[in-house]
Amino acid sequence: MKKYILALDQGTTSSRAILFDHRGQICGSAAQEYPQHYPHPGWVEHDPNEIWNSQLTVARKVLHDNGVEGSQILAIGIANQRETTIVWDRKTGEPIAPAIVWQDRRTAEMCDQLRADGKAKLITDATGLELDAYFSATKLKWLLDHVPGARERARHGALAFGTIDSWLAWKLCGVHVTDVSNAARTMLFNIHLMRWDADLLQLFDIPEEILPQVVSSSEEIGNTRAALFGASIPVAGIAGDQQAATFGQACHKPGMVKNTYGTGCFMLMYAGRHPRVSHNRLLSTVGWRVDGRTDYLLEGAVFMGGATVQWLRDGLGIIQQSSDVEALANSVPDSDGVLLVPAFVGLGAPHWDPYARGTIVGLTRGSGKAHIARAAVEAIAYQSAELLLAMQKDAAIPVAEVRADGGAARNDMLMQFQADLLGVPVVRPKVTETTALGAAYLAGLAVGYWESQEEIAAQWECERRFEPAMSADQRGHLLARWARAVERARDWEHGV
């Protein structure tokens, strides 16, 4: 019987499951959206049980719909939204509170206080991260501070903390683990020593008993309960979604760059075997650990990418479904001077401004919904252009191309405008589900389905290449206007 790898891709707005064969081709997929909750301005939450139920549902569905038995799955790989924080009871398996999502800004003032106390350098030196509410540490501290009795229960080993990968591993296999790529996003993990950092645990008052065991990105961490899929299947690959996408894009050599256009946009450059310090407010982060070897990445994060299009759909109601945005944006030749800065939850790299807010500038009486739609799509490209400029300064390595993936990478208008703004080709692969593909590759390597990273890299294929067609003067003019718009959005919440 034919054998497959099953990838579980747990994202911010949906859970999906994808079957891959030995050629790295998609043999079946299933997806299901689930709700986000916004109990207060700046707060974003998930119900951890809704996440688990949606992920289990699509995993079973993809097997059922494609006539695949659990015994045909050689291994499961997990890719997950990163930084989102869950605490649950070890005995009952029930969460003690809603998950705090990576986009959540409730701990911004906590970060301000830590910065005022001079702790930012300690954090960055150990973790490679900016001190920001984006990461898990302040979210976990908030939960332990606000759920009655939580810190005491944590000290006695009664509670477990994890990002989404840990939650899924617990539900699938009953093990409490996280891989190095997810651990590196907690703001509690020392990426130089490759262990939980005692000074940071003390700083955030986090009991070590609550933390998961840190494992490699490609190793068997346990077997699923047979009742879930009709067979006990090894879970053998785990990586944060952006590291998984970088692996799936075969960016295994210095200077190779990928950009994922998902809920947010995440540009990562392969940096080699040692952490690369950023001088332009990018993140130095662990990519993956395979066969005892750790690879590192430089990363820039944009909080509102495809989520900006979802806002057009759900907030403004000017499109019926996300895929409608390209036709609406293309119905006008340009945005007619309209710029939208989608700082709905603050700004990520390279600004790191939690107090910025969404802004539309350049409106005239002639502005319509098509101009706003075009400005929303172009905003995704503008934010990503800022990341590449910072990355090129840090790496001092010429970038030959940017490999694009994620849902919005299917938007040809966006891809062409992105190439124009970057001044380098943007290349879309034949398989755009590279997050799931990377998780599958990591799992498959662990069980011998694929022999090497070289074999994996040879499977990467280009579907379309977008060449830059904009003059340097025009590019500079547009980027300067974007910078002016960003300045008007910055520090808005502190401006009153």
Q: Is 233's pLDDT higher than 90?
A: yes
Which range among 74-83, 333-342, 395-404 shows the weakest confidence by mean pLDDT?
395-404
Mean pLDDT calculated for residue range 484-492: 93
Q: In which band, very low, low, confident or very high, does the pLDDT at 469 lie, cut at 50, 70 and 90?
A: very high
Tell whether 208 is covered by a domain: yes
The pLDDT of residue 147: 96
Over residues 87-111, the pLDDT tens digits come to 999 999 999 999 999 989 899 999 9
Average pLDDT, the chain: 93
Residue 276 lies in a domain: no
What DSSP element (H or E) covers 15? strand 14-20
pLDDT tens per residue across span 349-383: 899 898 899 999 999 999 999 999 999 999 999 99
Nearest to 59 by CA among 459, 442, 445, 439: 439
User: What's the mean pLDDT in 418-429?
Assistant: 95
> What percent of the chain has pLDDT above 70?
100
Tell me, what CATH number does 142's domain have?
A: 3.30.420.40
Binding site listing for ADP? 12, 16, 263, 306, 407, 411
Does pLDDT of 143 surpass 60? yes
Residue positions forming the annotated binding site: 12-14, 16, 82-83, 134, 241-242, 263, 306, 310, 407, 411
**Tally of structural domains, the chain:** 1
Q: What is the pLDDT of residue 495?
A: 52
The arithmetic mean of pLDDT across residues 58-71, rounded, is: 96
Instruction: Give the range of the structural domain holding residue 131, as residue numbers without chain letter.
Output: 4-241
Residue 348 domain flag: no
Annotated binding site for ATP: 12-14, 263, 306, 310, 407
The mean pLDDT value for 8-17 works out to 94
Q: Which band of pLDDT confidence, cut at 50, 70 and 90, is reported for residue 493? A: confident
- Give the residue numbers of the binding site for glycerol: 82-83, 134, 241-242
Q: Is residue 430 part of a domain?
A: no
- Residue 218 confidence (pLDDT) above 90: yes
pLDDT bin (cut points 50, 70, 90) of residue 167 is very high
pLDDT tens for each residue of 168-189:
999 999 999 999 999 999 999 9
Higher-confidence residue of 140 and 307: namely 140
Q: Which of 88-97, 199-208, 406-415 is predicted with the least confidence, judged by mean pLDDT?
A: 406-415
User: Within 205-240, where are the H helices?
Assistant: 226-229
Judged against a pLDDT cut of 60, whether residue 65 lies above it is answered with yes
Task: Read off the pLDDT band of 450 (50, 70, 90).
Answer: very high
Say if residues 22 and 90 touch (Cβ distance below 8 Å).
no
Confidence band (pLDDT; 50, 70, 90) for 433? confident
In a domain, residue 366? The reply is: no
Instruction: Write out the E strands in 138-272.
Output: 159-162, 177-179, 189-190, 195-196, 213-215, 218-223, 234-240, 257-261, 265-272
CA 433 centroid distance within chain = 13
Does residue 409 contact residue 428 with C-beta atoms inside 8 Å?
yes
In a domain, 490, yes or no: no
Mean pLDDT across 444-465: 93
What is the Cβ-side half-sphere exposure of residue 411, based on CA atoms within 13 angstroms?
30
Q: Which residues are annotated as a binding site for sn-glycerol 3-phosphate?
A: 12, 82-83, 134, 241
Q: What is the pLDDT of residue 473?
A: 96
In angstroms, rounded to a whole number, what is the distance separating the alpha carbons of residues 420 and 468? Answer: 4
The answer to whether the CB of 144 falls within 8 A of the CB of 182 is no
Within-domain flag for 223? yes
Q: For residue range 330-344, list pLDDT tens digits in order.
A: 999 999 999 999 999
* 143 assigned to some structural domain: yes
